[in-house]
Chains A and B, each alone.
Chain A
Amino acid sequence: DAKTTQPTSMDCAEGRAANLPCNHSTISGNEYVYWYRQIHSQGPQYIIHGLKNNETNEMASLIITEDRKSSTLILPHATLRDTAVYYCIVRGYGQNFVFGPGTRLSVLP
């Protein structure tokens, strides 16, 4: 079973920041938070991952709370091409990735 809970769906206006929350209250000290997204009929695309510090790359920012029980993926300027299902996954080194239902993000024009 997935160790995370995410909202089923979210809408975001094009050009605005998309903030996708994820709860992982049972996360262990050695488990990382990963984010992937899946655009319709494609394989999942890696976005970002982190352990406890906030992370940023060319795609997104990952904000992890101090107690590590939740995190937020931020797409700073959402475009229509960011419409996808976003998966938040918690796992330790060498463990399987378990995909839950994710959050269906719709970026609206």
Chain B
Amino acid sequence: GAVVSQHPSWVICKSGTSVKIECRSLDFQATTMFWYRQFPKQSLMLMATSNEGSKATYEQGVEKDKFLINHASLTLSTLTVTSAHPEDSSFYICSADLAGGGTDTQYFGPGTRLTVL
């Protein structure tokens, strides 16, 4: 149980184009999903919190107009990197929140590796 998928698993695009990444909770509903970014040899950094039916909450330093997040249903959140540039090349990972047993746990997707040429 608690499986999260991401699509695509990797993408290569030209500078200036936009890329959409999908995150789905396959066997549970998630009111809240999260988007992280991980650069080589670094740990995960939270970019934004995505709440179903409302606007995402972005962490300090993350441009909301560049990283568009849509959480249209309880099983799907999308991250669109607009006008991508080489410095946006990174490993993007989503997670979905599942509450139970007095606390909540995040289950992570397999990640999407974005390379911007």
Contact = CB atoms under 8 A, between A and B. Distances in A.
A41 B113 contact: yes
The majority secondary structure among interface residues of chain A is: loop
Interface stretch (B11-19, B60-68, B77-85, B103-111): B103-111
Interface in A21-77: 32, 34, 36, 41-46, 49, 51
B103 A46 contact: no
A96 B113 contact: no
B110 A97 contact: no
A44 B2 contact: no
Contact of B44 (A41, A51, A93, A99): A99
27 contacts: A32-B103, A34-B105, A41-B91, A41-B113, A43-B6, A43-B95, A43-B109, A43-B110, A43-B111, A44-B44, A44-B95, A46-B2, A46-B105, A46-B106, A51-B102, A93-B104, A94-B104, A96-B34, A96-B46, A96-B49, A97-B95, A97-B106, A99-B43, A99-B44, A100-B43, A101-B43, A102-B43
Interface of B: 2, 4, 6, 34, 43-46, 49, 91, 93, 95, 102-111, 113
Given A44-B95, A51-B103, 11 more contacts: A41-B91, A41-B111, A42-B110, A43-B95, A46-B2, A46-B105, A46-B107, A87-B43, A93-B102, A97-B95, A100-B43
